[in-house]
Every structure is written in structure tokens, then in C-alpha cells.
Chains A and B, each alone.
Chain A
Amino acid sequence: MNSMALEIRNLAKQFGDKVAVNNVSLQVPSGSFYGLVGPNGAGKTTMLSMATGLLRPDQGSALVNGVDIWAAPHDAKATLGVLADGVRQFDRLTGRQLVTYAGLLRGMDREEVATRTEDLLRVMDLGADGDKLVVDYSAGMTKKISLATAMIHSPKLLVLDEPFEAVDPVSAANIRDILNDYVSFGGTVIVSSHVMDLVQRMCSHVAVIDGGMLKASGSVDEVRDGMSLEDRFVDLVGGRGTSEGLSWLRTS
């Protein structure tokens, strides 16, 4: 087994004259629960898109379980499950059809897909909504069904971009349990999030990215260095305003 589930080497991407990701290298050890945090527009989604084969990098490479995703995309994607942020689903399918579709696209056989689809719908609390069209799902339900499509082929590495956004607390807790379980049996998870508290509680490792550059990475305890992750994050990223900002907002 490869010791690095994801190895990002010097990835860079420029849109026009805006540098979105600036020469980032990152190593995600197998079996880790890796948090990726950064302010809005820091380049998290761009970096994950390049690491998962959705966006061709200007430079650099990404190795998924030791396989370069840009040199051998088919092999790399076989062990990778991705929840992309800001993309649609084939939402005229029902939830059950969508998960089945993802499984069949991966070339799995029908019985296996059917069993796993029912399991996934059950753990995502979508059992009763499996026959509803995804277009009628709420934002949180759509997240959950997308997560199911990313997990059906039991990947070794899960890359989840904002998995908890709009998900209700109960479902979020259920998803966390699933992910923890997955990690404890050797899987690797990368989540991007804005919620520091969540990352601190859930993740074993964390990377802070800002302005397209890697500010810090390592185990959560190393990075936060005795502070809370949130304070450390603000420290690294800067940009906190002073409390004098909106004097007129004081209502009394």
C-alpha cells in the first residue's frame, strides 16, 4: 500500500492574470483525515479540481495512491471518490437512479451496485426519498446524494469539497460517523471547510491555504500550536478588522 494517498507536487493555475493556485505541494498520508481550510477565494476548490482531474493544471502533478492523475487518469480515478463543489448533478434522475448511474459508470456489476445503493441511501437518511427526482431535493439532500455517488465504488481516497454545507446537524453527524469509520478501516478523507471547529474536532491533519499558497500543513496539533485552530487560522491568514468597524450598528 502506498504511504501517500494524495501527493500534490507544485500545482499551479492561473486564470487570466489572477494566480489562483501558486505552486502548492501537499502530502496527504494514507489513513489520515485531512482538513483543508482557507478563506473564500483562497484556491481550495481550484486546487482540489486539479488534484481530481476536473481542471488541467498549468504546471505540476497530482498522484492519487501513487498514480499520476494526469498521466493515467483512468487508473487514478478508480481509487478516488470526489464530491465536487458548485457542479450540478444529473438531477432529472431519482436519487436511486443517480447513485446507480455512478456505480455503473465505474463499470461495477449490477447486483453489487444495487446492494450498495440501498445501503448508501439508508445511511444518508434518503431511504424514503430514493424515488424522488434529485431536482426536487433540498441543498442538503443533494449534498448527501452526491456524497453517495462519490462512495459507491469504495474508493481508497475521498476528496470532499464543502461536504457539510447546507447539511442538517443530524445528517452531518451521521456523515461524520461514516467518514470516521471509513478512516479507521484504512481509507483517507480530504475535506475542505470553513468551519474550523469542525475541522479541529474531526481531522487528524490540516492544511491552511490562502491566496493560492500553502500557509501551513501537518497534524492538527502541530498546526494549531497550542491555540484553537480558529485563532491560529486567523493568525496565519490575517485580515481581521478592528471592532470599530460599524459604530452605527449599535442599536442602543
Chain B
Amino acid sequence: MVAHLLRLKLRLLGNGFKRSPWQLVGVIIGGLYALGIVVMLSLAGWFTAEQSDLRGWIAILAGSVIVLGWAVIPPLITGVDLTLEPQRFVHFGIDEKTLARGLILAGFISIPAALTLLAALGFSTIWRLDPAVLVVGLLCALGTWLMAMFACQYLTIVATALRGKRRFRELSFALVFLLLVGLGPIFSTIGSNADSIVEVLKPITSVLGYTPLGAFAAVPGALAAGEMGMTAIYAVLALVYLIGLYFLLTGATGKATVTPPAAQRASTAKGLGFFKLTPATPAGAVAARALTYWFKDPRYALSVIMVPMLPVIFYFAGGSTGSYTMMLLLGPMIGILMGFAISADVSYDNTAFALHVLTGVSGKADRLGRVMACFVLVIVPLILAAVLPASLTGQPWRIPGDLGLSLGAFLIALGVSSIASARYTYAVPLPGDNPMKTPPGSGARVVVTQLATFGIMGVLLIPTLVPYVTGWVLHSTLAGYITLAVGLVTGSLMLFLGIRIGGKTMDQRAPELMQSVMINR
């Protein structure tokens, strides 16, 4: 039975590559990148081996990061490959214990897991000076890896149970996302206040050694330092944690295999919402639908969160370097990013796009509606982001230029996106999926399309950038006004052309677009 499940998992992994050559390219690029990291880590381990006073806590830190990473990132953010989700086995009368064991083992078979194991073993070269410690170090690396796998699987099951409630799912993305975005500023603040990183981390690591996160990783350090008592304590703790976690996991897996998925509580919305506010035209309807999605669909909601988050990040980044120049670029950044946000619109619609094809709505109305929604949502924050930094820092001469570049960037981005989304689709998270999850191997195509889109926006922005930079250097308000004029004129022109060309493209290619979104479902 266990062997069966392992073979099934291997087969699934293999078949995943067969789906498209692009996918394989993506996986290979990703794999090479990850292998690079593994080699780097191994080298890092090798060269820190002589730092006898540091290596102990570095090892604990590395081990803890591995376990914590596996415990948090897959269950909450990227989502786990749930092809072997325990609940799928509800219908098979397989003995719970056997099934649990098989599923746990099958969970080890994944590319990230293999790479993590390699990295953990490679990093053990930090103990290369003493062969006996090295052997223990390698064993403990294996232990750390097992702990990481168990923790990941256990928390995934717990999270899956909680996720039955869609609200929880959507909230958890937002929270984790905010936390991640906020981590940088928090660390940079702590870092600039402490005398050295070591002083911050040392007490943390000594605590981590007693927790499931770092217990295994702490063993070789204590052994190398000759502290036999501590070695024994760490080793016993580590084994107890691992065995305890294993029992928790088998219990939870077994239970999940016999528990049907929890029912969801339906959510409601009163009345027609945005459909009442927008004009009763096809374009207006598309705008209302898009606005609803901006708020209801977590894939868009992430972009919405970016708007208030960017200033915060820039502010803290400015705080740690002492220069707030970046804040002046907020407007253009928000403009480009939010304009870019609609460039994958049709990919996000997925096969629901069929409604647009079947109703024969004109490409122009479709493009215009999506632009209107984004415009209405962004324009006020955009103007604030363009005007406030300059006026708050007492440089009012900058305002026209900032405003010009921000509006120009936004309008151009909207125009380019209107064409891009009518022409190119790529694999994006499906409606209702975890928005952070990128479909495997979509990498290469997404990167090429997005880079090209950004590149074209950049080129089209050059006429506006020239007077902007001139104004910045010369402190010239006149150049600022020129920026404003050029930005508005080129921006409006590009938006007009974008909607026209994009609309025409969509009219011609609607069935082809439809087929390309059918593939990704």
C-alpha cells in the first residue's frame, strides 16, 4: 500500500512535466536556480566551519529557518501540492494507519523537499573539522529535514480544515501578505538600533535550540563545544519533538481521511452593488463587474493592498537609509503598478470570459470597462501620492512634475495593459485559488510577457521622463509643467490607442483567447 502511494506520487510528479514544454522549461530554470542556492549554502557552511564561536548559533538559525519556512510558507502562502490530499481517500477503505504512513512518506517526494534535504546536508559541512561531529551533524540535518516535513504536513492539514471557511482563507492571505511586506521595515528598524546583528540573534537562537525549530540543529554545536550535558538535552528534546509530531501527524492524517470536507457558509451581497452606480451600458457593466472583483477577488485585493503598503515600505526604507527621495517616486510607481494590474485581466477571468464572447460585447466596451474600474479606484490615491510627498517636504515646485509623471505613467500603463490582456494570456492562479500560488512552470512565459509589457511602458514613458528629469535636476517648475502637459497628452493618446487596438484585437481573437484560457483551468 505504502509503495503504491509512493509510486502514485512519483507518477504524478512525472506527468506534471509532460503537460507542456513551457512547464518543463520553467521547472528547469527554477531547478537550476534552486541548485545554485544549495551550492551557495554548502559553500557557506564549508567556509564558516572555522568560525568556532559563531557556527553553533548559525547552525541553529539555519535549521530553525528551514523548519519555520516549511511550517509557514507552504500551508499558508504558496499552498501545497494537494494531489494526495488525505480527503481524496475518503472513499477508499484503506486502513487509516497504513494510509497515513503512506501519505506522509509520499509527502516527502517533491522537488522542494529534495532540494531542502540537499541544502541541509550541504550546510552540515560547517562541522567538517571534526569527523565525529560531522557525522552527528549530517544525522541532525536529516532530523531537521524530517521535522520540517512533518510540521509542513501537519499544519497543512490544520490549515485545510480551517480553510473550509472562505473568509478565513481570504483573510489569511491578506494577513500573511501584510506581515511579509512589513517584515523588511521591522527588521531594518531593529537592525539599525542594535549594535550588531549578532547581539540581536544570539539570545534568540539560544531559545530556539530548545524548541522544535532548532533542537536538532543545536545538537552538533553543543557536541563540538564539548558540552555533553547540553548535547544530551538537545538530542532528547529533538527526538521527543519529532516523535510527538509524527504521532500528531498520523492522527490528523488518519482523521482527515475519514472526515468529509466541511460545508461552507454562503456569503451574500445585497442588491446590485456597483451595477447600480455605473452607466447602464456594456462598458459600464464591465466596469461594475471589474470593480466588484477588485474588492471581492483576493487576486485583485492584493493589488489594492499594495497602494497603502507602498508608502509604508518606502517610508521605512527611507528611515533606514536616512533619505526619503524614494517617496517622491511613489506616484509613478503606483501609477505603473496599478495600470499593469489589469494586464492579466482575461487570464484572471478564466473561462468566465465565455460570457463576454457569447454576448458579443464589443472589444472596445470590454477594454473601456476594465480601464474605467481601475481608473476610478486608483485616481484619488494616485493624485495624493503624487502631490503629498512634495508638499509635505516643502518642495512645492516639484508638484506639477510629479503629477505629470504619475498620471502619464498610469495612463500609459492602462493603455499598454489593454492591448496586452487582449493578446496574451498566461497561467495565473485560478478563481478561488490561493492568489500567491503560481501554477508550476508558468514561470518563463509569465516573465517574458510581463517584462515585455513593462519594457514597452518604459519606452512610451521616455517623452515624459525627459522633462521630468530636467526639472528634477534644475529644480525647474517650468519643466514640471511641461512634464504635466506631455504626460497628460501622451498618456491620453496611449490610453485611447490602447483601448482601440486592444478592442480590435479582442474582436478578432475572442475565440482564440477563449481557447487559451480553457487550457488553464
Contact = CB atoms under 8 A, between A and B. Distances in A.
Given A90-B352, A133-B268, A101 B289 contact: yes
A86 B350 CA distance: 12
B270 A131 contact: yes
A89 B355 contact: yes
A133 B280 CA distance: 22
Given A52-B358, A102-B359, A91 B431 contact: yes
Contacts of B432: 91, 135
Given A53-B511, A97-B273, A133-B266, A92 B282 contact: no
B354 A54 contact: yes
Contacts of A107: 281-282
A194 interface: no
Central interface residue in B275, B297, B350, by most chain A CB within 10 Å: B275
Interface stretch (A30-38, A74-82, A180-188, A218-226): A74-82
Contact of B296 (A76, A78, A92): A92
Interface in B506-521: 510-512, 514-515, 518, 521
Interface in A96-110: 96-97, 100-102, 104-107, 109-110
A78 B269 CA distance: 30
B360 A77 contact: yes
Interface residues of A, number: 41
B450 interface: no
Interface string B348-386: 011110111111111000000000000000000000000
Contact of B355 (A97, A131, A149): A149
Contacts of B296: 92, 133
Central interface residue in A92, A105, A136, by most chain B CB within 10 Å: A105
Interface in B260-299: 264, 266-273, 275, 280-282, 284-286, 288-289, 292-293, 296-297
Contact of A102 (B293, B355, B357): B355
A86 B358 CA distance: 14
Contacts of A74: 360, 362
Q: Is the interface of A mostly helix, strand, loop or mixed?
A: mixed
Contact of A90 (B264, B271, B289, B511): B289
A106 B271 CA distance: 20
Nearest to A56: B511
A54 B511 CA distance: 5
B266 A104 contact: no
A91 B352 contact: yes
Contacts of A77: 358-360
A94 B360 contact: no
Q: Is the interface of B mostly helix, strand, loop or mixed?
A: helix
Interface string A46-79: 0000001111100000000000000001101110
A87 to B, nearest CB: 4
A84 interface: yes
A97 B515 CA distance: 26
B282 A104 contact: yes
Contacts of A94: 268-269, 273
A55 B286 CA distance: 22
Contact of A54 (B357, B362, B521): B357
A131 B351 contact: no
A91 B266 CA distance: 12
Contact of A132 (B268, B355, B514): B268
A88 interface: yes
Given A55-B511, A93-B292, A73 B266 contact: no
- Contact count band on B: 35 or more
A97 B281 contact: no
A132 to B, nearest CB: 5
Contacts of B355: 89-90, 101-102, 105, 149
Contacts of B266: 132-133, 136
A55 B431 contact: no
A102 B354 CA distance: 11
Contact of A97 (B275, B357, B360): B275
Given A105-B286, A106-B359, A133-B267, A96 B354 contact: no
B509 to A, nearest CB: 9
Nearest to A82: B358
Contacts of A56: 511-512
B124 to A, nearest CB: 48
B280 A110 contact: yes
A96 B360 contact: no
A136 B267 contact: yes
Central interface residue in B268, B286, B350, by most chain A CB within 10 Å: B268
A52 B510 CA distance: 12
Given A92-B292, A92-B293, A104 B281 contact: yes
Central interface residue in A87, A110, A113, by most chain B CB within 10 Å: A87
B515 A55 contact: yes
Contact of B275 (A104, A131, A136, A150): A104
A100 B275 contact: yes
B269 A53 contact: no
Contacts of B293: 90, 92
A82 B354 CA distance: 10
B425 to A, nearest CB: 14
A76 B354 CA distance: 16
Interface in B131-154: none
B269 A97 contact: yes
Contacts of B357: 53-54
Contacts of A132: 266-268
The 9 A-B residue pairs with the shortest CB-CB distance, nearest first, are: A77-B360, A104-B285, A136-B266, A110-B280, A87-B351, A87-B354, A92-B296, A105-B359, A88-B352
Interface of A: 52-56, 73-74, 76-78, 80, 82, 84, 86-94, 96-97, 100-102, 104-107, 109-110, 113, 131-133, 135-136, 149-150
26 contacts: A54-B354, A54-B357, A54-B511, A82-B358, A84-B358, A88-B350, A88-B431, A88-B521, A90-B355, A92-B431, A93-B292, A96-B271, A97-B273, A97-B275, A97-B292, A100-B272, A101-B288, A101-B289, A104-B275, A104-B280, A131-B268, A132-B266, A132-B267, A135-B431, A135-B432, A136-B267
Interface of B: 166, 264, 266-273, 275, 280-282, 284-286, 288-289, 292-293, 296-297, 349-352, 354-362, 431-432, 510-512, 514-515, 518, 521
Given A97-B275, A97-B289, A101-B275, 10 more contacts: A55-B515, A56-B512, A92-B296, A94-B273, A102-B355, A104-B280, A104-B281, A105-B282, A107-B282, A133-B266
